[in-house]
Amino acid sequence: MTDSPPAVVPGVVGVDGISLSYRASWVRRPRAVVLALHGGGTDSAYFDCPGHPRLSLLRTGAALGFTVIALDRPGYGASLPHAPRLTDPARRVDLAYAALDRLLASRPAGGGVFLAAHSAGGELAVRMAADERGHSLLGLEIAGTGRHHHPRSVSFLENGDEELRRPGRARDRLREALWGADHLYPPEVHGGASIAAASPAYESAARGWRYEFPELAARVRVPVHFTLGDHEEVWSSGPAALADIASLFTASPRVRVHEQRDAGHNLSLGYSARAYHLRVLSFAEECAVTREAGLAAPPRQGRAG
């Protein structure tokens, strides 16, 4: 890896009259392209941890030879004014693919495109991978999501606690679940003020996608990597939760799960972000090697790796 962090360049791409913003770290001859999709309440800044280049997926990926494009999901960033037109999940999938095609039309893609998504971004990523167009992807990483909420958060996130009626308590409980222990993050990053962004109105309704998760996952035909932090407090974590998600990807040639040490929900912003990113990029490299060599995919496995 180089000593100086690669440049991160912001940009906007137009698709059907809609402007989609992004941040990218372009590599002249990339090993592959990583398309990164952020979660809720933030934007592509999530993948370029403010003030901490070592923790940036955009910079770490480029230093290892990957072009990384962190797209502001449809309805975020420059496309926020168009959010009322983006309530259909299929429309958001089409926009993301169209934006990717335009960005790579005159640029090399190396071995192909690998999707990496966090939290609510997993909804778009899994839909993209389940789509017919997704069969050409190198692979998929989803993190910070799940089927069942963490036992300490389920009453708050699904049913509403009596204590949430106290002024400001709902906001505090959400912040506690999303961030957890402050020792996991740089102090100026913990809490999310430095990477916060306006969310589209459709995001609340889109949370119900977890009930579609099993059907969508069964249509994914590329290798899958799934990560949860060991301090995850939004979604159920631990071996059983990891195995549960792995079992959904029945058509995938290879499924690998991992519990990231010293990590909370926001894996790409904590002190362990570099370790997490290196693991994801290693998996992407494996996917590129498999395609490059025309090797048969190894047996499926739903264990930590």
Report which residue type is found at 180: G
Task: Please report whether residue 83 resides in a domain.
Answer: yes
pLDDT for the residue 115: 98
pLDDT of 46 above 60: yes
Task: Please report whether residue 104 resides in a domain.
Answer: yes
pLDDT for the residue 154: 58
Task: Please report whether residue 236 resides in a domain.
Answer: yes
The string of pLDDT tens digits covering residues 261-275 is 999 999 999 999 999
Task: Please report whether residue 3 resides in a domain.
Answer: no
Residue 234 in tokens: 């939004």
Where do we find the tokens 């040639």? 253
Task: Please report whether residue 4 resides in a domain.
Answer: no
**CATH number of the domain within which 32 lies:** 3.40.50.1820
134: three-class secondary structure by DSSP? helix
Closest CA to 36 of 243, 276, 294: 276
Task: Please report whether residue 303 resides in a domain.
Answer: no
Number of domains in the chain: 1
The string of pLDDT tens digits covering residues 87-113 is 999 999 999 999 999 999 999 999 999
Report which residue type is found at 82: H
pLDDT of 170 above 70: no
Residue 135 has a CB neighbour count (10 Å cut-off) of 13
Q: Cα-Cα-Cα-Cα dihedral of 96, 102, 108, 109, to 10°?
A: 10
Distance separating the N- and C-terminal Cα atoms of the chain:
23
Q: How confident is the model at residue 166 (pLDDT cuts 50, 70, 90)?
A: low
- Check if the beta carbon of residue 93 is closer than 8 Å to that of residue 123: no
Task: Please report whether residue 227 resides in a domain.
Answer: yes
- Which residue would you say has higher pLDDT here, 300 or 219? 219
Domain of 118 in residue numbering reads as 9-293
- Indicate yes or no: pTM above 0.85: yes
Which residues on adjacent β-strands are paired with residue 304? 257
pLDDT for the residue 274: 98
Task: Please report whether residue 1 resides in a domain.
Answer: no
pLDDT for the residue 165: 47
Q: Are strands 67-71 and 33-37 parallel, antiparallel or unpaired?
A: parallel
Percent of the chain with pLDDT over 70: 88
Q: How confident is the model at residue 153 (pLDDT cuts 50, 70, 90)?
A: low
pLDDT of 296 above 70: no
